[in-house]
């Protein structure tokens, strides 16, 4: 295949004139034929110049791109990942020390974790930390319909990284492949020859990395789905280090917010610590979006500084989407208000002081929402906590039943959340089924236990909400009229009824 590509031009130069002479002697008009050949040749050259034609082994070269100046100090919220990555990079920095101890250099580092947690930023910072050439590509760039093209691009990427390091007189080159599951997925023995050849070429290139070579090469890859990668790629000797890049905790979120607030004028009432509290579960990318959207809100209001209200609006937008100008009937508004009040009253019943605001403002796909006060970061959950969470999710549907005698399609998302929590209860051995492997349960057993738990919690929710129907009606009138209800007003009404 490669030889054919090398001599294809010579073959074409010799064959095309002979074919033209033959066709002219056969009586085919010469002028239209020549014009057609020239036009075809011109189109082929134009397509090749634009990189649109990559057939056979003529692989498109992946360019080596230098990262912007970025250090580990510029990345917030990933102290553990940064520490592990820095230790893994020592073989590029302290070659002599490692050679004395007989340590084999690492060939690959795999960064895994949810989207937006900073895996690409860590790879760029690694290049700065080791003073290395940085060549980046995405897994999708190597996927083609033509067999051999992806493998050729893998070879070009490694070769170009080495050439660039020599050109810049650097000792190291870091190759970064984002979304590596695009080419490194598990092989199933099918007929996907292009995927298999591309993965085989990547494995071959990693095996060819030697500790004494110059320049030294390190492959860093990132994926959101480590479980989909082929076992040959994950074994020691290829990806020697697997570093988990998780969502940031409260301290990490505050650090990330401070980094993105450096070039933004904040009002005196803004507390980044409070914003970090309210953004539990946000990734670094989402936190950056919060700061950016808050600045946009401030610009719309023609303010010179970003206020706490702007940041609250930005959090709502990132969580639920942009505010929508939907025209709803009074009946729909009243049903939405009843639904959201059901969530809010149940939340205040099981966790007093947790509701910050109830709103009828449509955002994204939601016609209304309940905004909760921040809670401490949790990583372990008890059965009681999970059951209370289910009751809060069911509160909207139960409130509709108590007032209208039936439910609406607005409860679909709540039911999805409730069934997911039920699954966690069963898989954690906290249900009546006891400790059991999920795969050992039949569909009928799953359905029966799921229905039992949800029916029991629905009855408890109905009982608790039924005791507050009078308060419910007073709060409903306020919410429908004003469109928003503060957590303080909600608690005042609930406490007055309890007294």
Q: Which CATH architecture has domain 330-498?
A: Up-down Bundle (1.20)
The 10s digit of each residue's pLDDT in 202-248 is 888 888 776 667 788 889 999 988 888 888 888 888 888 899 998 88
Short-list 72, 48, 108, 20, CA closest to 259: 72
Short-list 84, 59, 73, 85, CA closest to 137: 59
What are the residue boundaries of the structural domains of the chain, listed by start? 2-49, 72-244, 250-320, 330-498
Q: Are 217 and 173 contacting, i.e. CB atoms less than 8 angstroms apart?
A: yes
The question of whether 340 is a catalytic residue gets the answer yes
Provide the pairing of β-strand 355-359 with 241-244.
unpaired
How far is Cα 198 from Cα 213, in angstroms, rounded to an integer? Answer: 24
The whole-number pLDDT of residue 387 equals 93
The whole-number pLDDT of residue 140 equals 77
Structure-token match 């509290």, residue found: 277
Q: Are 54 and 146 contacting, i.e. CB atoms less than 8 angstroms apart?
A: yes
b/e 325-351 (16+ beta carbons within 10 angstroms → b): eeeeeeeebbbbbbbbbbbbbbbbbbb
CA-atom Rg of the chain in angstroms: 31
Hey, is 431 helix, strand or coil?
coil
Short-list 493, 487, 485, CA closest to 360: 485
In sequence order, which residues have a C-beta less than 8 Å from that of residue 94 and are 6 or more positions away? none
**Phi first, then psi: what are they for 260, rounded to 5°?**
-85, -10
Short-list 371, 402, 393, CA closest to 484: 371
Below-70 pLDDT ranges, the chain: 1-69, 98, 144-148, 188-195, 210-212, 323-328, 364-365, 373-379, 497-499
Considering the candidates 340, 400, 401, 493, report the single residue annotated as catalytic.
340
Short-list 353, 104, 361, 69, CA closest to 210: 104
* Predicted TM-score (pTM) of this structure: 0.68
272's tokens:
């980044």
**Phi first, then psi: what are they for 327, rounded to 5°?**
-90, 115
Structure-token match 């639904």, residue found: 339
Q: Taking the CB of residue 38, how many other CB atoms lie within 10 A of it?
A: 10
Domain 250-320 has CATH 1.10.8.60: yes
Q: Taking the CB of residue 159, how many other CB atoms lie within 10 A of it?
A: 12
How far is Cα 248 from Cα 281, in angstroms, rounded to an integer? Answer: 8
Q: Options 3.40.50.300, 3.40.50.1000, 3.40.50.720, 3.90.730.10; which CATH number does 72-244 get?
A: 3.40.50.300
- Is 72-244's fold the same as 250-320's? no
The whole-number pLDDT of residue 61 equals 42
Q: Are 338 and 400 contacting, i.e. CB atoms less than 8 angstroms apart?
A: yes
The whole-number pLDDT of residue 388 equals 92
CB half-sphere exposure, 87, CA atoms < 13 A: 9
Alpha helices of 271-367 — where are they, by DSSP H?
272-278, 284-300, 308-320, 330-350
284's tokens:
């670094």
């Amino acid at each position: 295949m490669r030889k054919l590509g090398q001599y294809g031009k010579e073959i074409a130069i010799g064959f095309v004139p002979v074919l033209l002479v033959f066709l002219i002697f056969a009586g085919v008009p010469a002028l239209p034929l020549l014009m057609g050949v020239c036009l075809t040749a011109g189109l082929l050259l134009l397509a090749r110049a634009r990189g649109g034609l990559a057939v056979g082994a003529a692989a498109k070269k992946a360019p080596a791109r230098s990262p912007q100046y970025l250090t580990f100090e510029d990345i917030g919220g990933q102290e553990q990942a940064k520490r592990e990555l820095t230790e893994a990079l020592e073989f590029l920095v302290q070659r002599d020390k490692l050679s004395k101890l007989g340590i084999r250099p690492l060939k690959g580092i795999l960064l895994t974790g949810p989207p937006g947690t900073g895996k690409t930023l860590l790879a760029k910072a690694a290049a700065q930390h080791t003073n290395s050439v940085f060549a980046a590509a995405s897994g999708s760039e190597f996927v083609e319909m033509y067999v051999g093209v992806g493998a050729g691009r893998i070879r070009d990427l490694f070769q170009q990284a080495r050439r660039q390091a020599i050109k810049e007189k650097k000792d190291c080159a870091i190759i970064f492949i984002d979304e590596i599951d695009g080419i490194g997925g598990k092989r199933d023995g099918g007929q996907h020859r292009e995927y298999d050849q591309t993965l085989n070429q990547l494995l071959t290139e990693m095996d060819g990395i030697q500790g004494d070579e110059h320049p030294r090469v390190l492959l860093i890859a990132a994926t959101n789905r480590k479980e989909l990668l082929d076992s040959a790629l994950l074994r020691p000797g290829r990806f020697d280090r697997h570093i988990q890049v998780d969502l940031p905790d409260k301290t990490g979120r505050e650090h990330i917010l401070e980094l993105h607030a450096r070039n933004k004028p904040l009002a005196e009432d803004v507390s980044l610590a409070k914003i970090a509290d309210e953004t539990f579960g946000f990734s670094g990318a989402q936190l950056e979006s919060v700061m950016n959207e808050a600045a946009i809100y401030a610009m719309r209001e023609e303010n010179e500084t970003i206020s706490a209200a702007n940041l609250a609006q930005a959090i709502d937008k990132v969580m639920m989407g942009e505010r929508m100008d939907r025209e709803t009937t009074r009946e729909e508004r009243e049903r939405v208000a009843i639904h959201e009040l059901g969530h809010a009253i149940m939340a205040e019943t099981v966790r007093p002081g947790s509701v910050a605001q109830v709103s009828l403002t449509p955002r994204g796909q939601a016609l209304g929402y309940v905004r909760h006060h921040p809670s401490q970061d949790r990583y372990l959950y008890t059965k009681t906590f999970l059951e209370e969470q289910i009751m809060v999710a069911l509160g909207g549907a139960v409130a509709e039943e108590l007032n209208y005698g039936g439910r609406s399609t607005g409860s679909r998302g709540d039911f999805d959340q409730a069934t997911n929590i039920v699954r966690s209860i069963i898989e954690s051995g906290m249900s009546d089924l006891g400790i059991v492997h999920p795969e050992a349960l039949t569909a009928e057993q799953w359905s029966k236990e799921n229905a039992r738990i949800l029916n029991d919690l629905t009855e408890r929710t109905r009982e608790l909400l039924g005791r507050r129907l009078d308060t419910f009606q007073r709060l409903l009138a306020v919410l429908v009229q004003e469109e928003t209800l503060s957590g303080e007003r909600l608690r005042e009404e609930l406490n007055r009824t309890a007294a």
